[in-house]
Amino acid sequence: MFDFDANDGAQLAEIDKGAALLALNRGLEAIACFDRAISLRPGDSSAWNNKVYALFFMGQYAAALPCLEEAQRLGATRAAEE
């Protein structure tokens, strides 16, 4: 079951906007959207996963690694809670 709060809609909007920007090859702007989504819900792995994808897309592999580790940690935590 999901618990929704006031930040959910804003976070999803930032993720969607970031995905659209990434599709337009506007990676830096996409990452900024994913960072805003992370700030709204830092415990949600979806924004972290999108940021990882954007960083890989831009060839910033070293920067992507800590984000990937955080996404994996959050995903494992969420699975353990369910």
In a domain, 2, yes or no: no
Total domains present in the chain: 1
Q: Each residue's pLDDT tens digit in the chain (82 positions)?
A: 455 566 788 999 999 999 999 999 999 999 999 999 999 999 989 999 999 999 999 999 999 999 999 999 998 666 555 5
In a domain, 37, yes or no: yes
Output the CA torsion 62→24→45→38 (10° steps). 90
In a domain, 1, yes or no: no
pTM across the whole model: 0.85
CATH code, 11: 1.25.40.10
In a domain, 15, yes or no: yes
Per the structure, the complete domain to which residue 46 belongs is given by 7-81
Please, what is the Cα angle at 54 between 71 and 42, to 5 degrees?
35
